[in-house]
């Protein structure tokens, strides 16, 4: 059997590294420590942060940038960030890939729905009266009010030419 050839897609890798603003991903030595405590790897077949780091190093991002990318299964819990002995920060690589998918306009519609909800209310899900009733029963205070203007300032990109 001929040796397996691995191709490095330099253009795709550069695009990812530009989005990341650095190249920690090359420090990954594929130990798998990030997989052991990953809830998404446990519950979603095919999701594996170690494999995603390998793909990121090689630049073969196409399946991760596709409409049905498995990348959205990551819950951004940051367990892999804590676990990685090489300080690769896998979650940040995954977030950068999500941003690339968004840049290509291929994100799932649920992502847009969550974004719109945050811009509108400052929260990712509606706060129903029943939720506050449940909190009260549990001895918790009602959810505090959110400074929605502050959230919108953070989320809305500056207008072109705005130097402030
Ligand atoms: S990202 Fe870190 S923890 Fe995960 S395989 Fe690479 S070196 Fe190991
Ligand atoms: S941040 Fe994502 S990849 Fe990292 S442990 Fe959590 S679910 Fe897994």
Q: Which of 28-42, 89-103, 135-149 has the lowest mean pLDDT?
A: 135-149
- Would you say residue 164 has pLDDT above 50? no
- Would you say residue 161 has pLDDT above 80? no
d(CA 38, CA 78): 9
Q: Where are the domains of the chain?
A: 10-103, 109-155
- Would you say residue 98 has pLDDT above 70? yes
Tokens at residue 131, please?
């939720």
d(CA 37, CA 34): 6
Which residues sit with their C-beta closer than 6 Å to ligand 1?
A: 28-34, 49-50, 53, 83-84, 86, 88, 90
Atom of ligand 2 nearest to the CA of 83: 5
Q: What separation in Å is there between the alpha carbon of 48 and the centre of ligand 2?
A: 9
Residue found by looking up tokens 């330099």 in the block: 10
Q: Residue 26: nearest ligand to its CA?
A: 1
- Would you say residue 47 has pLDDT above 70? yes
Atom of ligand 1 nearest to the CA of 33: 3
Q: Residue 88: nearest ligand to its CA?
A: 1
Tokens at residue 83, please?
């676990």
Q: Which of 130-134, 154-158, 159-163 has the lowest mean pLDDT?
A: 159-163
CATH number given to 10-103: 1.10.1060.10
Q: What count of other Cβ atoms lies within 10 Å of the Cβ of residue 47? A: 19
Which residues sit with their C-beta closer than 6 Å to ligand 2?
A: 38-41, 49, 74-80, 90-91, 94
């Amino acid at each position: 059997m001929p040796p397996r050839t691995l191709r490095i897609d330099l253009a795709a890798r550069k695009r990812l590294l530009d989005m990341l603003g650095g190249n920690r991903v090359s420090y990954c030595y594929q130990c798998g420590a990030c997989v052991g405590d990953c809830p998404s790897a446990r519950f979603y077949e095919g999701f594996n942060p170690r494999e995603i780091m390998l793909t990121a190093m090689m630049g073969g991002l196409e399946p991760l940038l596709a409409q049905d990318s498995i990348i959205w299964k990551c819950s951004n819990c940051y367990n892999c960030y804590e676990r990685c002995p090489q300080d690769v920060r896998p979650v940040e690589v995954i977030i950068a890939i999500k941003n690339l998918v968004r840049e290509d306009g291929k994100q799932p519609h649920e992502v847009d729905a969550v974004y719109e909800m945050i811009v509108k209310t400052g929260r990712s899900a509606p706060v129903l009266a029943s939720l506050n009733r449940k909190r009260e029963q549990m001895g918790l205070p009602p959810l505090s009010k959110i400074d929605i203007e502050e959230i919108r300032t953070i989320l809305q990109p500056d207008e072109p030419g705005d130097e402030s």
